[in-house]
Structure 1
Amino acid sequence: MKLHFDWHGVLSGQPLQWLLNGYVTTLWVSVIGALLATVLAMLLLFLRLSGNALAVRGVALWVSLFRNTPILVQFLFWYFSAWNLLPRVWRDWINADHPGALLPGDVSWLTPEFLCSAWGLGVFISAFLVEEISAGLAAVPDGQREAAVSQGFSTATALRWILLPQGLVNAWQPITGQYLNLMKLSSLASGIGFAELTYQVRQVDSYNAHALEAFAVGTVLYLVTGVLLGFALGLLGPGRRLMGGEP
């Protein structure tokens, strides 16, 4: 049996518009989710390093909870349960029309779908990032810490200027993997958050274009984006700068 792909049917008209809209939305959810995950991970890291027993146990609970709960369950919880726990006045304000709350590509970020998706991704990936960075810090030789203390560095300044940069060098590859994983999961988040995945597949079929073709085009878009993102994160890594420019 020979499959025939009508690429013109997919790469034109409204089916193409759906694909591109979903792609742009996925990118923006990825960006916001990555920023949120980074901020949360750094906050969790400082709490873990604070030495406070309660803070350390809280971080351990956060990591255990969000690393071991399936991401699909988390998305469903944030969108269908946690959202309804917010004060009614907040929900009404977010659900109101906000013409100015648009990101480039005509993507509205002030919606329950976008906010729940970005938040869910940020929380999930933060639990992995804090573990990766902690492992990188643990790999820094003890002599580096001792040298920093002998030079008069405080704990905070030694962490900021000496230990954390070296820890990031040690952990940059797995950290990059977590950001790439976040981008892959953002398309799932969008599909659940907007609750339109099956509907749009039927609409693609109604325009005489096969859903398989549409998903093939979308896969190529995400694959190319992932390759480019991985390459960019590799170039932005701190390794070359700290090692005198050597790869």
Structure 2
Amino acid sequence: MAHAPAAARRAPPPRRRTLSWRSRRTRALAYQLLALAVVGFLGWLLVSNTLTNMRLRGIQSGFDFLAQPAGFDIGEGWLPYDSADAYWKAFLAGVVNTLRVAVVGIVLTTILGTLLGVGRFSRNALLRGLCYAYVEIFRNIPVLLQLLMWYLLLTEYLPLPGDALRVGHLFFLSKNGLSFPALTWEAGHWLAVGGLALGCAASFAWVRFARARFERTGRPLPVASVVLLLLVALSWLGWLAGGAPAQFQFPEVGELQVEGGSALSPEYLAVLLGLVLYTSSYVAEVVRAGIASVARGQHEASASLGLSRARSMRLVVLPQAMRLIIPPLTNQYLNLTKNSSLAVAVGYPDVVSIANTALNQSGRAVECIAIIMAVYLTLSVATSALMNWLNRRAALRER
């Protein structure tokens, strides 16, 4: 008996999804909705009781105070702010100051921690010992003590501004912090920034093209040099198109302080140094564990191909270790961001410090604490989302 051709065979009819209690999917959905309803009810009950008790005691509530003048100054920050501005702008300035620490700290922590983790596998016994000693020392000292230690060193043991430590007439380090030349921003610099953005887009397209060509033909194309060339060349062309502005404001030593240029305050430096040195010790252990998880045969195979230890580490070992490094690395980034709230101990005006001042003046304790929680929750969720995307990119894919 001849079999019917494959094209003539009919596909089985699609299964109908019915809302039956016998269905595991239906029961799971019902349980989730029930749990969500219980959590929502408990949250409503908590908020309702809190507002009722505050009303009975004559305590004002609500976020309307954010539109009122703050009435206090902020010592430093990138966002223009005046004491006559509203509370919401003060909170925004505090968030920007928190990001100054978190973003710069994550970048420096990644670089330093990676170098320390790789250094643990060096053939030089002295280098291995120094990396090990660094990790054990900074990892076992509480981060708050490290912040206070750096703040004490920067404010008590550095010279006065008149006797500042200097590198030529460019950098001055004193009790007032670190002063350095500031670029006088002009319209032409926006074209340079536009060129840099265009370079990033062109670099992304080149990396995708080089990867696709390598997978198709097995012939590699230069990536790092081309990306660097695109970024520098397009930024330079944008700078030239804008008239090549190159005006700098240089710092000068005055009678009481270093004037002119830009400066990083002792509070900011203390927070940044403390968080970077503390967190990088944990990142170093994460990188070391990820490298150690790569099979020894991978090292031997790369050596048999004639790769140096440095190229083997960069091209063979680290790419395989990344899938184990990224998840715990995410935790360290989150810890650094949340530990930045300790900046209030050295007087750095982050969002926690601003919220404390606003709380004391307005009496809106619940609202100010809620704003702090919302800020750190948003930063943590954004960091986790970015790292989860990177983790999916680094994960092994079966073909």
**TM bracket, shorter-chain basis:** 0.7 to 0.9
Residue 86 of structure 1 is aligned with which of 150, 155, 158? 158
- Cα distance in 2 for partners of 1:185, 1:219 equals 13
The CA distance in 1 between the partners of 2:283 and 2:103, in whole Å, is 15
Matches within 5 A, 1:1-247: 2-3=53-54, 5-10=61-66, 12-14=68-70, 15-88=87-160, 89=164, 90-91=173-174, 94=177, 110-189=264-343, 191-194=344-347, 201-206=356-361, 208-237=362-391, 240-241=393-394, 243-244=396-397
Residue 64 of structure 1, CA deviation: 0.9
Where structure 1 has 5 or more consecutive residues not aligned to the other structure, the ranges are 103-107
C-alpha displacement at 1:86, in angstroms? 3.4
User: Do the aligned partners of residues 172 and 198 (structure 1) sit closer, same or farther apart at CA in structure 2, a change above 3 Å counting?
Assistant: closer
Three-state SS of the structure 1 residue aligned to 2:303 is helix
- Identical aligned residues as a percent: 32
Is 1:94–1:112's contact at 8 Å kept on the other side of the alignment?
yes
Deviation at 1:61, TM superposition (A): 1.3
Structure 1 residues 95 and 176, CA gap change in structure 2 (3 angstroms): closer
Q: Please give the TM-score of this superposition, normalised by the length of structure 2.
A: 0.54
Report the secondary structure of 1:163's partner residue: helix
Residues 226 and 48 of structure 1: is their aligned pair in 2 closer, same or farther, counting only changes over 3 Å? same
1:217–1:143 distance in 2 versus 1, CA, 3 Å: same
**CA distance in 1 between partners of 2:393 and 2:347 (Å):** 41
Counterparts of 2:387 and 2:290, CA distance in 1 = 17
The amino acid of 1:141's aligned partner reads A
Moved more, 4-13 or 112-121: 4-13
User: Contact (CA 8 Å) 1:37, 1:125: kept in 2 or not?
Assistant: yes
CA displacement at 1:243 relative to structure 2: 2.2
1:182-236: CA deviations, max 9, x gaps? 11111222x1232666796355332x34133112112112101211111111112
For 2:128 and 2:330, locate their aligned partners in 1 and report how far apart those are by CA, in whole Å: 25
Would the alpha carbon gap of residues 84 and 27 (structure 1) be closer, same or farther in structure 2, given more than 3 Å must change? same
The AA in structure 1 aligned to 2:64 is: H
**RMSD, aligned CA:** 2.9
Does the 8 Å CA contact 1:98/1:110 hold for their aligned counterparts?
no
Conserved 8 A contact 2:177-2:265: yes
Question: Cα distance, 1:240 vs. partner?
Answer: 2.9
What whole-Å deviation, never above 9, does each CA across 1:51-86 have from its counterpart, x for those lacking one?
Answer: 222221111111111111111111100112355333
Contact 1:136 1:171 in 2 (8 A): yes
Instruction: Give distance in 2, aligned partners of 1:16 and 1:187.
Output: 19
Give the aligned residue type for 2:268.
F
Aligned residues: 238
Shift of 1:33: 1.1
After superposition, the C-alpha distances for 1:20-53 in whole angstroms (9 at most, x for unaligned) are 2221111110111112112211222343222222
Matched residues in 2 for 1:101 and 1:115: separation?
A: 23
- Give the gaps of 5 or more residues in structure 2: 1-51, 56-60, 71-86, 165-172, 186-261
Counterparts in 2 of 1:199 and 1:154: CA distance versus 1, 3 Å:
closer
Report the TM-score when normalising by structure 1.
Answer: 0.84
Greater helix content: 1
User: Structure 1's 159 and 9: CA in aligned 2 closer, same or farther, altered over 3 A?
Assistant: same
